[in-house]
Structure 1
């Protein structure tokens, strides 16, 4: 069988169930939606059903929309020139060099070096290894501990998965990697977590106590998202990152900003870390870096870290397809499109449209909080507003499925949060349609978890 385009929807469904391992799909979810094409903010499944993609390709990416012919032309032209040659050892390629240069020019000051990966998990994995090796080469081999936060999402490999603050990522896969510690996140809606203290005061005190317990000389780095996307689009108080940064700097602990979701225009700027008062030593990237048109990630580092980990012995680390010229060519074109079409500015417009369109949900009995940051939105679903009891995961799944079935709009269930991440090219009318779909279905959700007909 060579021409899969000739397969019917039913045949694809049968083969899907027989052969494809679906990541993160829980056993009670029997639905299969096989997406076969897309254009702009619209996608179609194998049965010809049309959907509004209000979830950015389902996992926060696709900032420039689907099916852009200019990206196809860029990929084809690069494949004609050279499809791939290693970027390990003494080799490189022109597209990787050009993209690294462009990223360095957009990144916060002092972050001028780029290590390419194939995605976000690999970028975080690389940053963890780089942080530990940096201290080792500087004569502090005991600095191996990595600090992260509960509810964070940093990836699914063993290192990045151990850093991830969702227990489901570590459940049943054997021992986590050693020397990882998770801290309480800044989560203003859940003020009960702080025992009456102000959010940032509590988090800073906890960080100081953790450093004292583990020992500053044993901690390599802290990794954190400027805004916790996977945790439910949770933005910290304005003083959180500046105060955390001061503590880390005082103890010689590196800061890694995980911008896999938040960079490349998602929150209305190329990088969100500086807007939150972060001064990271490394930034991890993926998702929108190549527009969703190829697997690509990166770590952006300071000269000091890059030079130290390379040294005379080299950074004995890498991936077969890192710096892939086709992916990097697509990354260059993605940056050009974002600039040419003013999509950074469009992100601010979408933010205002989402806030207006979702504002009415705050009064519903099953909505605890509505959060919008740039083009990211989360509706926190609860079974009890007074006590902020989150709904079960299957309820969030059911809400998203109903939105898709009733309105042909794709939203993403994320634990007890329903999240939106529309492409930056989504129109005002499409944002209104997505908000209406969410409001209509959530409005029928009862505290018991049932959705009325």
Structure 2
């Protein structure tokens, strides 16, 4: 019989683990860590037995909620049947094959070919490697550069981090020679005295000018999240993605839609590119909600046209991950999609997600809330020292961390990001939980305001 280790034992053992996206010295200095040991539905439970609303959905990903027996049973059954076999060479297995077919049916237009990876970072790397290979096969090896955007987040592998907004690369090296960053599409921060239409026009000029400067013959792809996630939940002006795609097509530049966060119901649809933003990209990258976090799995879904070129005679596809299409991960995704379809979860989110968004936008009546942005269950809240001038708090104030800590004390997990908070809860939030989330945030912000 397994005995759960004590909290002290867990924290002692945890000293050997390197955590992600944190000042590692701060862990050494104050030892402030939260131990979660149980989760159910939209809630998580810490080592003190406290129930907390999972306001970040694990990390953008536990879309169907925690502890769903359908997914657990599907994973268990798969492990009992075929625990692992590689999809290298000509090997396949039912779980991965059926999932690839399902994703092709859900993705828009001609996006019918699927390459599986283990994370959003690896899937974005895969998309770029495929396009490099595609252009080499077409006899244009110089067409390899990537256009990204300030404020983007595309992962933390060596190439994906280069495509991510430069602030994440501070004190780190990455494949920066391959990537050029366009202006941020954050109208509230960057629009200055322009109208939103004028700002959109300026962004498109920036795209066209960079293509002219770099040379379309040198650019393989433009990559964009439909809504920026870890860069601060930034929503581009209406029509941005359609116009950017038109410019890319005119210059023979492939359009990659990074839907690691926005797919599988978070915005009310399985994929947001076509159904929300009206575009059919050349590649869609997905992860997180694909398995609702129950297993690590991601996918790059590519067009028939790209696949036709890379599958021509005369060369091997020399790219691969050992665990690509892992049977248990694919089984989790198949069960996850089936559950979403059976419960009509994306359709439900079109209602409850808007309720959540409306509740969060109501927080703008608080003096330090400068902007609430995002859509459905993907929300960012930015705090300002002066709403009229949009002056930010200094880093030393750590305003995001303060509100985050006050909220956790009251039973809500949110994610701090500088002067902002990010919320990406499970998609099974009830109206009652949405109301409770708003009340906790309101009280937490008020407490921090009183102490400034």
8 Å CA contact retained: 1:396, 1:415: yes
The equivalent of 2:107 in structure 1 is 107
- Per the TM alignment, residue 81 of structure 1 is displaced from its structure 2 partner at its CA by 0.5
Whether 1:344 aligns to 2:341 is no
Distance 1:19 1:112, change over 3 A: same
Cα deviations by residue, 1:74-111 (Å, 9 ceiling, x for unpaired): 11110111110001111111100000111111111110
Instruction: Select which of 334, 351, 360 maps to 1:358.
Output: 360
Q: How does 1:6-405 map to 2 (within 5 A)?
A: 6-16=4-14, 18-26=15-23, 27-28=25-26, 30=30, 31-57=32-58, 59-168=59-168, 170-174=169-173, 176-192=175-191, 198-274=198-274, 275-312=276-313, 313-392=315-394, 394-405=398-409
Q: Can you give the 5+ residue segments of structure 2 that lack an aligned partner in the other structure?
A: none
User: Which piece of structure 1 moves more, 293-302 or 360-369?
Assistant: 360-369
Distance 1:263 1:381, change over 3 A: same
8 Å CA contact retained: 1:259, 1:285: yes
8 Å CA contact retained: 1:154, 1:164: yes
* SS of equivalent residue, structure 1 residue 167: helix
Distance 1:107 1:194, change over 3 A: farther
Tell me how far apart the structure 1 counterparts of residues 353 and 338 of structure 2 sit (CA, whole Å): 22
Tell me how far apart the structure 2 counterparts of residues 390 and 126 of structure 1 sit (CA, whole Å): 37
The equivalent of 2:412 in structure 1 is 409
Q: Can you give the 5+ residue segments of structure 1 that lack an aligned partner in the other structure?
A: none
Tell me how far apart the structure 1 counterparts of residues 305 and 98 of structure 2 sit (CA, whole Å): 21
- Per the TM alignment, residue 193 of structure 1 is displaced from its structure 2 partner at its CA by 5.6
8 Å CA contact retained: 1:367, 1:380: yes
Distance 1:209 1:372, change over 3 A: closer
The equivalent of 1:424 in structure 2 is 427
- Per the TM alignment, residue 177 of structure 1 is displaced from its structure 2 partner at its CA by 3.5
Could you tell me the TM-score, scaled by structure 2's length?
A: 0.94
Tell me how far apart the structure 1 counterparts of residues 358 and 225 of structure 2 sit (CA, whole Å): 26
- Per the TM alignment, residue 375 of structure 1 is displaced from its structure 2 partner at its CA by 1.1
8 Å CA contact retained: 2:109, 2:280: no
Distance 1:175 1:54, change over 3 A: closer
8 Å CA contact retained: 2:402, 2:448: no
* SS of equivalent residue, structure 1 residue 172: coil
Distance 1:353 1:395, change over 3 A: same
Cα deviations by residue, 1:289-343 (Å, 9 ceiling, x for unpaired): 0111000000000112123223331220111100001100110000011111121
* SS of equivalent residue, structure 1 residue 293: coil
* SS of equivalent residue, structure 1 residue 28: helix
User: Which piece of structure 1 moves more, 232-241 or 425-434?
Assistant: 232-241
Tell me how far apart the structure 2 counterparts of residues 388 and 315 of structure 1 sit (CA, whole Å): 50
8 Å CA contact retained: 1:392, 1:415: no
Distance 1:283 1:194, change over 3 A: farther
